[in-house]
Amino acid sequence: METKTLEATNKTTFGEKLKKLFAVRELFMIILIVLALVVLTILSPNFLKRANLVSVMISLVPNAIIAIGMVMCLLEGTFDLSVGGVMAFTGTLVGVLMLKGFPIWAAIAITLLVGVVIGLINGFFIAKIHVHPLIVTYGMQRITRSAATILTGGYSIYGFDSKFGVMGSKYIWVLPLMVWFMFLLVVVFDILFRKTKYFRQAYYLGSNPNAALLSGIKVDSYKIQTFTLAAVCATIAGIVLASRIMAGTPTAGDGIEMQVLAAGVIGGCSMSGGEGTVIGCFLGVVFLALISNALTIMSVSQYWQGVVTGVILIAAVSIDMILKQRRSTLK
């Protein structure tokens, strides 16, 4: 009898461990991505060709870079809708500065500084004036996208120094430098969010803002820094994209904020804060890139691709809310 009880306990323990293992969102995302790869390979034998895979990796670089800043926002239970406009504006600004005669390094430095200022403005109105992030960041999105159109007259601008294109065109082994740069940023920031006290504060702030304040975290200052990081990430994405296409495009990043939000929630971030990782969000970006590639392979209109992203976002947030309600009920 005792032996049977022990065996049952061992089985239960193994089952619990297996359940916990599959509850890890990163593992779940990896399984989803593998399944997507299998399906895409069946749909199109050309999918696994090197040129197509490299194309997929290149396409997700801006989203992945922006996702780093968005993760910090989501961890605090907020979001930034201005990232698409900031990406377009800074991508055109760096080009305009170079065409005006500024050296590449100076144009990039000034553009990054502008990104910092945009983030500080967002953070100030949200943290100090207490305007809702939806209003502030959406307003900034309209301002920056309009500014990009004003800068370029509504047209893409070209004629940059060829050295500026190194990030987007130079290959190291089989991938462009921009892809390796993306991997570096994702890995570094994932480690920072897991291991450093400063970035861990985002989890505390998202889980319990009042407790975070009582523990000594300067909540308002931290929120300002959060939106500054989000804007800087969008700025870096804009510069990298401009380097890749060797053009400043005022329509760049249209709808990218919704794609990144969807990727974040799919990858394990909670809209109510306190949960998520950079790696998880990155895997969400990869998954959505594969979905987009699948729709392209099936000759589905790009307009319908927006519908699919919207449906995935609503479904992901709904599932997140349901799971959170169930966890609250169990407690």
* Residue 110 domain flag: yes
Alpha carbon of residue 203 to chain centroid: 17
Mean pLDDT of 63-88: 96
Among 16-30, 89-103, 310-324, the range with the most confident prediction by mean pLDDT is 89-103
Q: At what angle do helices 256-266 and 83-99 cross, to 10 degrees?
A: 130
What is the C-alpha separation between 172 and 212, in angstroms, rounded?
44
Task: Give the per-residue pLDDT at 311.
Answer: 84
CB 125 within 8 A of CB 136: yes
**Residue among 212, 227, 239, 215 at smallest CA distance from 65:** 239
Residue bearing tokens 């502008």: 114
Sign of the CA dihedral 71, 180, 32, 312? positive
Task: Give the per-residue pLDDT at 18.
Answer: 47
The more confident residue out of 290 and 294 is 290
Dump the DSSP string for 80-107.
-TTHHHHHHHHHHHHHHHHHTT--HHHH
* Residue 151 domain flag: yes
What is the C-alpha separation between 291 and 207, in angstroms, rounded?
32
CB 121 within 8 A of CB 143: no
What is the C-alpha separation between 283 and 35, in angstroms, rounded?
13
**Residue among 276, 249, 243 at smallest CA distance from 260:** 276
CB 74 within 8 A of CB 328: no
Out of 5-19, 76-90, 298-312, pick the least confident. 5-19
Q: Model confidence over 133-155: pLDDT tens digits?
A: 999 999 999 999 999 999 999 89
184 has pLDDT over 90: yes
88 has pLDDT over 80: yes
* Residue 218 domain flag: yes
The set of long-range contacts for 268-272, using a CB threshold of 8 Å and a minimum separation of 24, is 268/25, 268/26, 268/29, 269/71, 269/74, 269/75, 270/74, 270/77, 270/206, 270/320, 270/324, 271/74, 271/77, 271/79, 271/317, 271/320, 271/321, 272/77, 272/206, 272/321, 272/324
Share of the chain above pLDDT 70, in %: 90
Task: Give the per-residue pLDDT at 218.
Answer: 92
Mean pLDDT of 17-35: 72
pLDDT category of residue 15 using cuts at 50, 70 and 90: low
How many residues does the structure list for the chain? 331
* Residue 122 domain flag: yes
Task: Give the per-residue pLDDT at 77.
Answer: 93
pLDDT category of residue 16 using cuts at 50, 70 and 90: low
Share of the chain above pLDDT 90, in %: 60
Helical ranges in the chain per DSSP H: 2-23, 25-43, 50-59, 61-75, 83-99, 104-127, 133-152, 166-169, 177-195, 197-207, 209-214, 219-245, 256-266, 278-297, 302-330
* Residue 4 domain flag: no
* Residue 224 domain flag: yes
Task: Give the per-residue pLDDT at 295.
Answer: 82
* Residue 38 domain flag: yes
Q: What's the CATH code of the domain at 203?
A: 1.10.3470
CB 264 within 8 A of CB 67: yes
* Residue 150 domain flag: yes
The domain in which residue 288 lies consists of 28-317
Single-letter amino acid, residue 269:
C
Task: Give the per-residue pLDDT at 138.
Answer: 97
Structural domains of the chain, count: 1
Task: Give the per-residue pLDDT at 22.
Answer: 47
- H or E element, residue 171: strand 171-172
